[in-house]
Structure 1
């Protein structure tokens, strides 16, 4: 086991932003309120996850555009944007626009692969090209090239009163260094390293290897992080952020503690064996006091490899629950892990 050599340097949080179909604005406003609360508490970053054709945020980039106008310091990210749903050229334009609006605070995270339930939605998403769409890493390489400022067109100049550029506009020079890849396998972690990206790890990995081998989520995640850094130009200095579900209970009411424990217990069976044909292995949700959580995180092989985290908020809780969790993360758990709150 490699010990964590440094205190926690960056503390962030991740949410999916649930809403009621009959009143979607309230859920989106709740998410924006959590981001502004996160900034006041000193969090370094806030991340939104895509939820397509569900009752969660389907357009994080649009929501983060709103968040840029309500915050001034906190970093804003997507964790992650599934590129199978996106045209890389249009996405590059949107990302650059929001990054400019934020003053250089956008951290786009993305992944590749076909959209979930693709057979059911292909005709709506790609009615004419569904069988020809490329969901491999080449789709990500197109996005990288465009964000980095490579030509999107072979024409530039003035046509009448219109002025055209070869590259995506606006161009935000620092954005490329803030691109993150959400990897769940050794192969994808190595690819991200070779591309010079930052790495997002989460509470899901692919269980690879012999079925007879004992499955240890933390060990698998740690191996992926090391493989990423072995291929990255920056080596051990390459940035990695971990995103486990971590729920502190220090200031929670007895009712909240019971809710949190029940939530984790209901999700525990999926941590016992790989799930589905992709053999996805889920990490247990971590629920407890700061003292208990520090002990469990310090014993986690994946956590010991990082000094940045974006802890995931649980699904389906109430706004006041998230307020309590974020407050305990920023005022109790984070400092206990060696983190210092950011300053506005």
Structure 2
């Protein structure tokens, strides 16, 4: 069994060609797509976080709403940019959303992607300490988050509080037991995947790697996964780690599918520059179900991961994206032994 979910960026634009024309549309349709995904048998609803963009941004109200409207699927992020976060406030928000969802939150975090604005995190009140980088700051915020999610007291109580305190030092409330083990690090390189394994976070790897060695994307990503698992084992963590990979996958089972994605049947990896360095982008998978199953069976990273997230074109609307999920689950997943 492989867990299969979707990952939405929550794009919106006032264009008449878009089914998602406002921030309200993006949020409400995200909830409806999660409900539809659960109904067709998918396992997860994940959302990308981008600041200063016409996309989904503040994730926790959305995650809480999805948690309240669903009962089974995992809900998560892919990923939250930790440069922007107050980790203690984030722990409160995450604990609340997880409790509303009954312990289904899978929280993907990372250093973040290239931004819409220059040093956007500074507008949120966060600046790297002298002699450190924004990536260092993201890891510091992450370390604090992971620490407080353990649920141990650390804050000295007021001797004359407004309300009675439990004995000892106080912790962040509400605390959701088990959430610490459901934190994922979005790794763009083999080195950051190794670091994630050392820290005891699950691995989340997308359709983009910010390095290139000349091998196909899926092989480079499979190497990343192997290094993560080796680092996890060497660190001696007690539980089994989880790994997710994202893919753009479109089973062609209707004339509309062919019109929209038929041109992607010859898609290949792409190599370009991102953040002033080489990056490799994974291809789009689009084909009739039998060929799609054969192609996906050759993807080494998909085979190595326990979770597959479909990056959905959310501007095509809830009904079409639910159709894409249903087509994959109905026609392709059984051929690969995932269902």
How does the TM-score come out when normalised to structure 1? Answer: 0.85
Compare 324-333 and 78-87 and name the one that shifted more: 324-333
SS at match of 1:245: strand
Does the 8 Å CA contact 2:83/2:121 hold for their aligned counterparts? no
Matched, 1:308 2:307: yes
Alignment-derived partner of residue 198 in structure 1: 202
Q: Are residues 248 and 152 of structure 1, via their aligned partners in 2, closer, same or farther at CA, if it must alter by over 3 Å?
A: farther
CA shift for structure 1 position 73? 1.1
Partner of 2:247: 244
1:250-278 C-alpha deviation (Å, 9 max, x unpaired): 2x3x233221234687xx58x33232313
Retained in 2: the 8 A contact 1:93–1:169? yes
- Quote the residue 1:330 is aligned against: 329
Q: Secondary structure at the match of 1:159?
A: coil
Quick check: 23-32 or 172-181, which moved more? Answer: 23-32
Distance in 2, Cα, partners of 1:119 & 1:20 = 22
Q: CA deviation at 1:49?
A: 0.8
Alpha-carbon distance, 1:215 to partner? 3.3
What is the alpha-carbon distance in structure 1 between the residues aligned to residue 115 and residue 222 of structure 2? 27
Indicate whether 1:275 and 2:273 are aligned: yes
Residue aligning to 1:80: 79
In the other structure, the counterpart of 2:18 is none
Aligned to 2:216: 216
Once residues 122 and 32 of structure 1 are traced to their aligned partners in structure 2, the CA distance between those partners, rounded to angstroms, is 27
SS of the residue 1:181 aligns to: strand
Runs (5+) with no aligned partner, structure 2: 15-20
- The residue aligned with 2:259 is 258
Q: Secondary structure at the match of 2:51?
A: coil
Determine the structure 1 residue equivalent to 2:4.
Answer: 11
Find the residue that maps to 2:4 and give its secondary structure. strand
8 Å contact from structure 2 (residues 264, 285) kept in 1: no
Residue 5 of structure 1 corresponds to which residue in structure 2? Answer: none
**1:285-323 alpha-carbon deviations (Å, 9 max, x no partner):** 111122112111111121221232122113532333212
Aligned partner of residue 43 in structure 1, secondary structure? coil
* Counterpart-to-counterpart distance in 2, 1:59 and 1:248: 31
Contact 2:64 2:100 in 1 (8 A): yes
- Secondary structure in 1 matching 2:261: helix
The farther-off stretch of 11-20 and 172-181 is 11-20
- The counterpart of 2:150, out of the listed 130, 145, 148, is 148
Partners of 2:210 and 2:300 in 1: how far apart? 16
Q: Is the 8 A contact 2:82 2:139 kept in 1?
A: no
Count of residues paired in the alignment? 322
- Name the CA distance, whole Å, in 2 between partners of 1:196 and 1:321: 37
User: How many angstroms apart in 2 are the aligned matches of 1:12 and 1:26?
Assistant: 21
Number of the residue aligned with 1:181: 185
C-alpha change, 1:249 and 1:234, in structure 2 (3 Å) is farther
Task: Tell me how far apart the structure 2 counterparts of residues 121 and 258 of structure 1 sit (CA, whole Å).
Answer: 38
What is the alpha-carbon distance in structure 2 between the residues aligned to residue 157 and residue 120 of structure 1?
Answer: 37
Q: In the alignment, which residue of structure 2 is the partner of 1:42?
A: 41
- Higher deviation after alignment, 177-186 or 159-168: 159-168
Q: 1:29: how far off?
A: 1.5
Q: RMSD over aligned Cα, in angstroms?
A: 2.5
Distance in 1 between the 2:204 and 2:325 partners?
20
